[in-house]
């Protein structure tokens, strides 16, 4: 209830999960939580996930708010990474019918005059937007997979999925079984079903075919001999000659996994000489610490 005292814990290192409610502390000021029955965006009756405390709108294809949020997610940094195209721009372009689906973003280059006619849009800002869209026509497979809005697919699981999706034919034909998907690391059974259902959907096949008419995908190269495959590395500090993103990209090309924090499951910490708390934690957990020189070697 609202104003209840509860015990929570971190589930999957991120999500606050309620362990139990301290009902003895209630003082009659608490109020029941009113669960909505219909979607506030499209009016569709809500459904509840089996065995989950989650209600959702099943109108995935036509709910206006879902369409908008999917597009916003698709253009963020881990997706197509289109600068100058944020939530306000997506909302406005949907309202003006400049876009209605993901692939429509790449047709905005043909609507420059229409965009310039909008209040507040000047030549420089519109050119910045169109240049960002042009840059997004070249995509790494991991970013492409994240941008598709497959339920349960985030950068780490997209990296694992990119192991088997190595060509446009794999994207469009998708001849992978549920078993082969479940055998990938970081792909749970439910996520495997989501992937399979997404890629075998006729409507999604049409979407991906249209996207591939605008986008060139850079697929990952499998390196079967790399002895540190699946190792987990954390990075702390700054290094001369390399940005953090460049170092992470080097890791991923060699099928290492980047982790943001040090734990007992971390294999290596890449640290500079003035590293602080992460270095202390690595030493306390007997995590191997290496220098940039050692890493590059």
The pLDDT score that the predictor gives to residue 252 is 74
Q: How far is the C-alpha of 176 from the C-alpha of 208, rounded, in Å? A: 17
Q: How far is the C-alpha of 269 from the C-alpha of 273, rounded, in Å? A: 12
Determine, yes or no, domain membership for 67: no
- Residues 235/203, Cβ–Cβ less than 8 Å: no
The pLDDT score that the predictor gives to residue 52 is 75
At 10 the three-state DSSP class reads: strand
Determine, yes or no, domain membership for 226: no
Same domain assignment for residues 144 and 214? yes
CATH code, domain carrying 171: 1.10.150.20
Neighbours of 246 (CB within 10 A): 11
Higher-scoring residue by pLDDT: 265, 226: 265
pLDDT at residue 169 tops 90: yes
Same domain assignment for residues 206 and 153? yes
Closest CA to 168 of 136, 127, 210, 203: 210
Structural domain ending residue among the three candidates 113, 136, 159 = 136
Phi, psi of 33 (to 5 degrees): -80, 125
Same domain assignment for residues 150 and 199? yes
Q: Exposed, middle or buried, 225 (CB in 10 Å: 0-12/13-18/19+)? A: exposed
Determine, yes or no, domain membership for 81: yes
Q: How far is the C-alpha of 292 from the C-alpha of 297, rounded, in Å? A: 9
Structural domain ending residue among the three candidates 85, 113, 136 = 136
pLDDT at residue 222 tops 80: no
Per-residue pLDDT tens digits for 86-108? 999 999 999 999 999 999 999 99
Same domain assignment for residues 152 and 127? no
Structural domain ending residue among the three candidates 136, 155, 174 = 136
Determine, yes or no, domain membership for 259: yes
Tally the domains of the chain.
Answer: 4
Same domain assignment for residues 267 and 289? yes
Q: What is the mean pLDDT of the chain?
A: 90
User: Which structural domain range is residue 39 located in?
Assistant: 6-56
Q: How far is the C-alpha of 250 from the C-alpha of 119, rounded, in Å? A: 43
Non-local CB neighbours of 3 within 8 Å, separated by 6+ positions = 29, 30, 31
Determine, yes or no, domain membership for 1: no
Determine, yes or no, domain membership for 225: no
Q: How far is the C-alpha of 157 from the C-alpha of 83, rounded, in Å? A: 24
Per-residue pLDDT tens digits for 229-245? 668 899 998 888 898 88
Determine, yes or no, domain membership for 160: yes
| Percent of the chain topping pLDDT 70 | 95
């Amino acid at each position: 209830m609202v104003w209840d005292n509860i015990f929570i814990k971190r589930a999957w290192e991120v999500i606050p999960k309620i362990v139990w409610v301290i009902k003895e502390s209630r003082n009659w000021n608490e109020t029941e939580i009113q669960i909505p029955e219909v979607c506030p965006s499209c009016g569709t009756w809500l459904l509840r996930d089996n065995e989950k405390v989650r209600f959702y709108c099943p109108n995935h294809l036509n709910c206006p708010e879902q369409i908008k949020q999917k597009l916003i997610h698709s253009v963020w940094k881990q997706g197509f990474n289109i600068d100058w195209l944020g939530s306000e721009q997506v909302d406005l372009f949907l309202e003006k019918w400049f876009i209605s689906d993901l692939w429509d973003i790449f047709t905005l280059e043909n609507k420059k005059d229409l965009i310039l006619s909008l209040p507040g849009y000047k030549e420089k800002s519109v050119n910045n937007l169109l240049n960002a869209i042009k840059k997004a026509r070249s995509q790494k497979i991991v970013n492409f997979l994240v941008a598709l809005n497959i339920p349960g697919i985030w950068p780490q699981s997209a990296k694992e999925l990119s192991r088997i999706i190595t060509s446009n034919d794999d994207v469009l034909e998708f001849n992978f079984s549920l078993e082969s998907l479940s055998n990938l690391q970081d792909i749970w059974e439910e996520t495997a079903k989501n992937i399979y259902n997404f890629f075998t959907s006729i409507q999604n096949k049409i979407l991906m075919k249209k996207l591939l008419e605008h986008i060139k995908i850079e697929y990952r190269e499998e390196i079967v001999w790399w002895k540190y495959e699946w190792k987990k590395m954390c990075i702390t500090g700054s290094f001369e000659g390399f940005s953090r993103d460049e170092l992470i990209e080097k890791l991923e090309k060699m099928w290492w996994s980047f982790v943001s924090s040090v734990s007992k499951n971390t294999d290596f910490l890449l640290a500079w000489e003035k590293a602080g708390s992460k270095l202390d934690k690595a030493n306390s957990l007997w995590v191997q610490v290496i220098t940039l020189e050692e890493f590059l070697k």
